Amino acid sequence: MELQSNSTTDPKNNQPENLSDTERWGSLLTGSALVLTGLSQRSLRGVLLAIAGGGLAYHGAAGQKSLQDTVTEAAGLNQRIRVEKTVTIQNKSPEELYRVWRDFENLPTFMRHLKSVTVLDDRRSHWVANAPLGASVEWDAEIITDQENQLIAWASVAGADVDNSGFVRFQSARADRGTEVKVVIEYSPPGGGLTAAIAKLFGEEPEQQIGDDLSRFKMLMETGEIATTEGQPTGHH
Amino acid sequence: MKAVCWQGTHNIQVETVPDPKILNPRDAIIKVTSTAICGSDLHLYNGYNPTMKKGDILGHEFMGEVVELGSAVKNVQIGDRVVVPFTISCGSCFFCNRELSSLCDNSNPNAWMVEKVMGHSPSGLFGYSHLTGGYAGGQAEYARVPFADVGLFKIPDGLTDEQVVFLTDIFPTGYMAAENCQIQPGDTVAIWGCGPVGQFAIRSAFLLGADRVIAIDRVPERLQMAKDGGAEILNFEEIEVGDALKEMTGGRGPDAVMDAVGMEAHGMGLEGFYDQAMQKVGMESDRPNVLRQAIVACRKGGTVSVPGVYTGFVDKMPMGAFMNKGLTMKTGQTHVHKYLHTLLNHVQDGKIDPTFVISHRMSLDDAPHGYQIFKDKKDSCIKIVLKP
Ligand SMILES: NC(=O)c1ccc[n+]([C@@H]2O[C@H](COP(=O)([O-])OP(=O)(O)OC[C@H]3O[C@@H](n4cnc5c(N)ncnc54)[C@H](O)[C@@H]3O)[C@@H](O)[C@H]2O)c1
Ligand SMILES: [Zn+2]
Ligand SMILES: [Zn+2]
């Protein structure tokens, strides 16, 4: 901290916001930074793409803001929902956990809002999630980065009902204390109007939803099952 | 089957409900042969837990016979006679690996509710509100036990239900609370509350080498039982406890103090009135009279052990006394799994006969009456065992 305040060339002041954000995001992905909170408003998708080095079908999303983006941002409409959660899992290596997660078809077992995930090929998958009133929302996702046993990053492709992106990182905890699993997921409504719909989709609390998903992943990995009381008897209520 | 169901404050009913089923591979179903009512159940009965729902099946002290097993339970057989720790533990997480079974990471499906208030969630508990998982309890003819491969303890032949049923909670609870006093030879331990937990704490403190135990309550038969257990006794309605303790310990104060009362402590005078009022209007969820008194009474450098249950916030904690006297506090729901074998041995070896605490035996149908007399301390009620 002191070094920075003494410095006359504080990178924060001299560099364009996007670049330093990208660096910080990058260090989060590689594991040298531990906490996301406080990071920029820049979209996760953009950062993931920038780090992957481009070359994917939906370039435009990475860099410059479109006019529509600028307008919705100015109007405060684009409240992206971004969630960051970490758990530590005992007695399982990053490799073992990575392998379970990398088969996206396993995800609905512990991610309760997902109806199904169908793997289409090595990079593409089709996701169906529950929406209120028995409806569902669907999207295709593509893997942006896949670092074996360490990191998987994905984003929905054009035409998604809900634009979203995320990554999961597996990292040995310090001092042999299990494996830390960090998940960051972001839902970005295109025009703002969807924010409410997404909130509904996640029962108002996407943060809690992802947290619960991750707890269930941990239960499954540590105990072989997911603790439940669904189906137990009760008296009249 | 028949089950004791919570229907609101001071309203419990014995209802006919569906039998429990195996829900997970590590589950077992127990035919309950004995189950007890606990002081912790009174906090629910008295309406201090906002996450109770109508129809919830109560009870966390129970034992019985295994009648059904999930596919993953290999170390228990149908027909085994077992006791069930009230804390639900997975046996393999960070905390279970350290024998901190009441802090298990994986047994509370409603962990998020607790995390909001406490930062992290303790383990799931049987029959103890939705905050700790909403598991159906054992005051019933049958009960489902999750993680049965680590949550069932076989009882050797030749021991009666009444000798072993308290291994599910109050004996380990009293024992851990005494262990938390970090007793050294020559130590005096002061224990507030002569309910079942206090009674087992008194006897455990002696088992762990205490020189002297001073027990505090106001209910005559409970004080008498404490005296029978070897304690010196103080009636807090007749005497100023802080002064008395100081006099009895040569001015130094007890080496360790224990709050075996918890959040519904009976307060005296203005302070008691203040806490009652604060609790009524929701400004304070728990009444910490005993905790305050214990901290002030404890000798410098001593230990405060808190088995009494708190769920929320307390007001006017004497933090100055706690800090400046260099005290240590140790607390928690009991890590029952850790103590069960040791204490079972103590029972087998005749070092203690846990049946001393039983004042009433009833059928499940009489549970509503049982709750009432236990709450009101009527009919010399100290501990009730229900026989489904
Ligand atoms: N930590 C755990 O795992 C665990 C397990 C079981 C019970 N408990 C808790 O332990 C506590 C005691 O349980 P119990 O079954 O013995 O309950 P209980 O209600 O039978 O006993 C409480 C006793 O405290 C006495 N008391 C009330 N106010 C007092 C005061 N100001 N000073 C001295 N004594 C006072 C009462 O007269 C009563 O005899 C409860 O809070 C219960 O929830 C904790
Ligand atoms: Zn109990
Ligand atoms: Zn555990």
Whole-number Å distance between alpha carbons of A210 and B1? 37
Whole-number Å distance between alpha carbons of B90 and A227? 9
Our CA-based measurement puts residue B106 at a distance from the nearest CA of chain A, in whole angstroms, of 5
Instruction: Say what the pLDDT of residue A54 is.
Output: 43
Give the DSSP letter of residue B172. H
Whole-number Å distance between alpha carbons of A88 and A215? 10
B220 in contact with A at a CB cutoff of 8 Å?
Answer: no
Our CA-based measurement puts residue A16 at a distance from the nearest CA of chain B, in whole angstroms, of 37
A17 pLDDT band (50/70/90 cuts)? very low
Nearest chain A residue to B18 by CA distance is A233
A158 pLDDT band (50/70/90 cuts)? confident
Our CA-based measurement puts residue A211 at a distance from the nearest CA of chain B, in whole angstroms, of 8
Cβ of B196 closer than 6 Å to ligand 1, yes or no, is yes
Give the DSSP letter of residue A179. E
pLDDT at A190 over 70: no
Whole-number Å distance between alpha carbons of A237 and B12? 12
Mean predicted confidence (pLDDT) in A84-106: 96
Cα B370 off chain centre by: 17
Strand partners, A85: A183
The backbone region for B156, taken as left when phi is positive above 0, alpha when psi lies in -120 to 50, beta otherwise, is: beta
Taking CA atoms only, the protein residue closest to ligand 1 atom 19 is B39
Helix-strand-coil percent breakdown of chain A, rounded to 5? 40, 25, 40
CA of B236 to the centre of ligand 3 (A): 40
Residue pair B114/B50 in contact (Cβ under 8 Å)? The answer is: no
Residue pair B70/B22 in contact (Cβ under 8 Å)? The answer is: yes
Ligand whose nearest atom lies closest to the CA of B122: 3
Taking CA atoms only, the protein residue closest to ligand 1 atom 26 is B193
Give the DSSP letter of residue A8. S
Average pLDDT, chain A: 75
A235:B15 CB<8 A: yes
For B109, the closest of A178, A227, A237 (CB atoms) is: A227
Cα B215 off chain centre by: 17
Percent of chain A exceeding pLDDT 90 equals 42
Strand partners, B29: B68, B144
CA of B114 to the centre of ligand 3 (A): 16
Our CA-based measurement puts residue A234 at a distance from the nearest CA of chain B, in whole angstroms, of 5
B135:A233 CB<8 A: no
B360 token code pair? 């009433």
- Give the CATH number of domain B2-169+334-387: 3.90.180.10
Instruction: Say what the pLDDT of residue B272 is.
Output: 77
Mean predicted confidence (pLDDT) in A113-126: 95
Cβ of B289 closer than 6 Å to ligand 1, yes or no, is yes
Nearest chain B residue to A217 by CA distance is B106
Whole-number Å distance between alpha carbons of A197 and B289? 49
pLDDT at A58 over 90: no
A8 token code pair? 């006359």
Closest CA to A28 of A160, A140, A186, A177: A186
What are the Cα distances from residue B186, in Å, to A52, B181, B206, B255, B386?
68, 13, 11, 9, 39
- Give the CATH number of domain B173-331: 3.40.50.720
Residues 116-135 of B with CB under 8 A from A: 124, 133-135
Q: What phi, psi does B366 have (nearest 5°)? A: -90, 5
Our CA-based measurement puts residue B91 at a distance from the nearest CA of chain A, in whole angstroms, of 8
Q: What phi, psi does A193 have (nearest 5°)? A: -65, -20
CA of B50 to the centre of ligand 2 (A): 18
Whole-number Å distance between alpha carbons of B351 and B226? 17
pLDDT tens digits for range A22-39: 666 666 666 555 455 445
Within 8 A by CB and 6+ apart from B96, the residues are: B89, B90, B104, B105, B150, B337
Whole-number Å distance between alpha carbons of B229 and B226? 5
ipTM entry: 0.92
Assign A183 to helix, strand or coil: strand
B11 in contact with A at a CB cutoff of 8 Å?
Answer: no
Element containing residue A143 per DSSP (H, E):
strand A136-147
Q: What's the predicted TM-score (pTM) here?
A: 0.89
Instruction: Say what the pLDDT of residue A81 is.
Output: 76
B147 in contact with A at a CB cutoff of 8 Å?
Answer: yes
Taking CA atoms only, the protein residue closest to ligand 1 atom 36 is B193
Assign A195 to helix, strand or coil: helix
Q: pLDDT tens per residue, chain B (388 residues)?
A: 999 999 999 999 999 999 999 999 999 999 999 999 999 999 999 998 889 999 999 999 999 999 999 999 999 999 999 999 999 999 999 999 999 999 999 999 999 888 888 999 999 999 999 999 999 999 999 999 999 999 999 999 999 999 999 999 999 999 999 999 999 999 999 999 999 999 999 999 999 999 999 999 999 999 999 999 999 999 999 999 999 999 999 999 999 999 999 988 887 777 777 777 777 777 777 788 999 999 999 999 999 999 999 988 888 899 999 999 999 999 999 999 999 999 999 999 999 999 999 999 999 999 999 999 999 999 999 999 999 9
Looking at chain B, how many residues does it have?
Answer: 388
Domain boundaries, chain B: 2-169+334-387, 173-331
Whole-number Å distance between alpha carbons of B277 and B51? 22
Instruction: Say what the pLDDT of residue A26 is.
Output: 64
CA of B262 to the centre of ligand 1 (A): 6
Contacts with A90 from chain B: Cβ below 8 Å: 92-94, 97
Nearest chain A residue to B107 by CA distance is A227
Cβ of B308 closer than 6 Å to ligand 1, yes or no, is yes
Detail the DSSP E strand segments found in B99-239.
Answer: 124-125, 142-145, 153-154, 188-192, 212-217, 232-235
Q: CA torsion sign, B247 to B248 to B252 to B258?
A: negative
Ligand whose nearest atom lies closest to the CA of B357: 1
Q: Which residues surround ligand 3, an ion (CB under 5 A)?
A: B 89-90, 93, 96, 104, 106
Cβ of B38 closer than 6 Å to ligand 1, yes or no, is yes
Contacts with A236 from chain B: Cβ below 8 Å: 5, 15, 54-55
pLDDT at A173 over 60: yes
B94:A237 CB<8 A: no
